[in-house]
Each structure stands twice: as C-alpha cells, then as structure tokens.
Amino acid sequence: MSETSVTRSEDLAARAEALDAADPLADRRKLFVLDDTVYLDGNSLGALPAHVPARVQEVLTREWGELRIRSWDESGWWTAPERIGDRIAPLVGAAAGQIVVGDSTSVNVFKAVVAASRLASRERDEILVDATTFPTDGYITESAARMTGHSLVPVTPAEVPGALGPRTAAVLLNHVDYRTGRLHDLPGLTAAVHAAGGLAIWDLCHSAGALPVGLDEHGVDLAVGCTYKYLNGGPGSPAYIYVAERHQAAFDSPLPGWTSHADPFGMTPGYAPADGAVRGRVGTPDILSMLALEASLDVWDGVSIEAVRAKSLALTDFFLECVARYLPEGRAVPVTPDAHAERGSQVALRCEDAEPVMSELIARGVVGDLRRPDVLRFGFTPLYVGFADVERAARVLGEVVARR
C-alpha cells in the first residue's frame, strides 16, 4: 500500500472512530448477536436481538409445554396480531388499531390490492403497479387484476402522475426500490393518486424501521410490509397490513378467514367481518415466529425513527465518501441517488464483476448481497451498524476491486 493510501486509510478510520464515539444510537449494538463480520445485509435479514432466544424458549417450554391450549387466553396468543401491530404502528407513523400482523407480505399484497379494487367505484377498472417493483408484488397484482376484472397498467413511479385518470382504482408502489435503494415520494404520489380519485397502496418492506413513513400523516389508504429486514423479526417472520381507519368499515378482504370473523368461535356458516383492523386476519396466527417478532421489537424501546433516519443518512453518506476515496474510479458506480430525499437506507453499486466481488467480500468478513447481473447491495441498519463498519467495508471493497 502506498504512503498516500495509508494516510487516506488512517484519516477515514480516525473519522469513523470519532463518529462512532458521538453516535447516540451506538449503545443499541450490544442488544444484538454480532461478531467480527461487517454485516451490511440487514435489508434482507436483520440481525438477531440477543434476548430473543430466551423468550422463544419460554414460549416453547412454559406457554406451549406447560400451559398448552390455555395460552391462547392466559399468554395472550389470540390477541398477538393486533397487539404486535400496535407496536409496529409508531415506526411507520400510524395510530393504534390500524395494523394487524400475520401471513406473508405476498398474501397481504393480495388482500390489499383486491380490497382496494372493491373499495373503488365500479367505473374504475385499472390498477397501476410499479413496473420496477419486487417481482412478487407484480405477480400478485397481475393475478388480482385478472380475478377482479381490472386492467393492469405497469408504470414506473415517475410515470404515475401522468398515468392516473378516471379509470384508476388503485396504485401499488414500493416506498424504496429494492435494487437501487431509491426512495420514492410517498407524500407526493399519494396526493396525486387521491387527486385522481384512486387509492394508494404502499409496500414498506425496505423502509419500515429505516426511515419515517408517515402513513396517517400522508393519508395512505393501505400498506403492507415484512418484519425480517430492518425490524429484525427473524427469517420468515410474519408480515403486516395497514388499513386506514376510514376504510375499515368497508374493507372487504378476499380472504375472509375464521379469525377475522366477528364471532370466530361461533362457527357459523355465514361470514360476518369483525370490526377494525382485525378484518385483515385470515387463519390461525403463527405463534412461535410472531412472539419472536414481538420480543425483537423491544430493541426499539426509547428509539425515535427520526434518530434512526439521521444516522442512516450519515452512514450512507460516509460509505459513499469512502467508496469514492478507496476504489479506482469507474470500477463501482453508485446507482443509489445522492440526494437525501431520494435515498433509502441502502447503497447499490454497479460493478462489472459483481458476483465474484461479493463472494470475495463475504469471504473477507464483509457481508452484503447482489442483484444480478451487476449490482452490489449494502444495507445499513442504524441500530447495529457503526461508522467503523462502513470504513472497513469500503476499504476491503477497494482492495478486492483493485486486484481484479
């Protein structure tokens, strides 16, 4: 390494140390199970909160092992979907009583899209979907459109205002693009959809727990999201659906399961929906993963989402600076927007040898991921990622790329 490179490395490392020392969220790191690896894949699977195994063990041995069926009442199993939904609500800017936890994101997308099409007036027969969305959202929406007799209109988020019209029933958009990390304009696009008479549905998988969402503030109609990314709920942890209070009385779920019935234990042949967000439930809650998620949410106690956003932007700013200084010019080009208002909590770099580069990074203790053919993705979870992690990741990336 040249003298200039050593000086540059020492300078950035010193800055990282100072930033970590001043970080008001630094003490959150000790709440997670982490090692010497730089873990920058929390936008795919969050790290394990250290207290969760003991809680799961308690559920297994006492609540299931000893209390058994009694735990539906005595351990609060039956009300877990709404109770946990109310804990997620402040992280996405929602008042209590509007979020219910359960099922997968894909299932909740289906519920939301079909319910929105039923809420819309009959002459509105078009569903707009983000053409750049995560594949499942597109697959589900296309199927929902066929089933409801609606036309599907794939558009990019930038094209949405021009595509809206009197036939628009609903619009499904991702808050943050899963490939590039671009943050879309939820307030502006929601307002445009409403001005055209449609309903706005947002997928929050890559924003919930990373930045302010403001579902109530911005008048979002329906929203869905997963809990295993920035919310650290564990692999396959249940997703959630948000139904704005003003729509709950008319919310007509396409999956009217027994647990969303007004009298679920009446076992009557006719379906009568429960009041409130409970209408978003379908079948028996997946208790083990749901209660692991509930315990995981303890790491958010006393944390404001605004503080998380401030650190997220500082982390990604610093990473982009380190990449610019450590990497040969043109070898890994950022595709994530530079503007804070357009950036989520990940940085994506276009790199010609993305797959072997990421493999070598992982072998050297820097874990990110890639999206074929040529995008390296690095997710920054402010609760446990520090500035020293950022400097190390960029430095190792520079060494790997330079050798190729």
Active-site positions read 134, 203, 228-229, 377
Residue type, 146: R
Residues in the chain: 404
Distances (CA, A) of 368 to 208, 348, 381, 395: 19, 10, 12, 14
How far is it, in rounded angstroms, from Cα 54 to Cα 52? 5
Cβ–Cβ under 8 Å, residues 338 and 347: no
Cβ–Cβ under 8 Å, residues 59 and 288: yes
In DSSP notation, 23-82 reads -TTGGGGGGB---SSEE--TTTSPPPBTTHHHHHHHIIIIIIIIIGGGHHHHT--TTHHH
**Would you tell me how many other CB atoms lie within 10 Å of the CB of residue 332?**
25
Dihedral over alpha carbons 319, 320, 324, 328 (to 10 degrees): 80
Q: Helix, strand or coil for residue 123?
A: coil
Q: Which two tokens stand for residue 277?
A: 């967000």
Cβ–Cβ under 8 Å, residues 101 and 281: no
Q: What is the DSSP letter of 263?
A: S
Q: List Cβ neighbours of 80 (8 Å cut-off, separation of 6 or more).
A: 101, 285, 287, 290, 291, 294
Q: Helix, strand or coil for residue 116?
A: helix
Q: Helix, strand or coil for residue 103?
A: coil
Crossing angle between the packed helical segments 354-363 and 387-403, to the nearest 10 degrees: 130
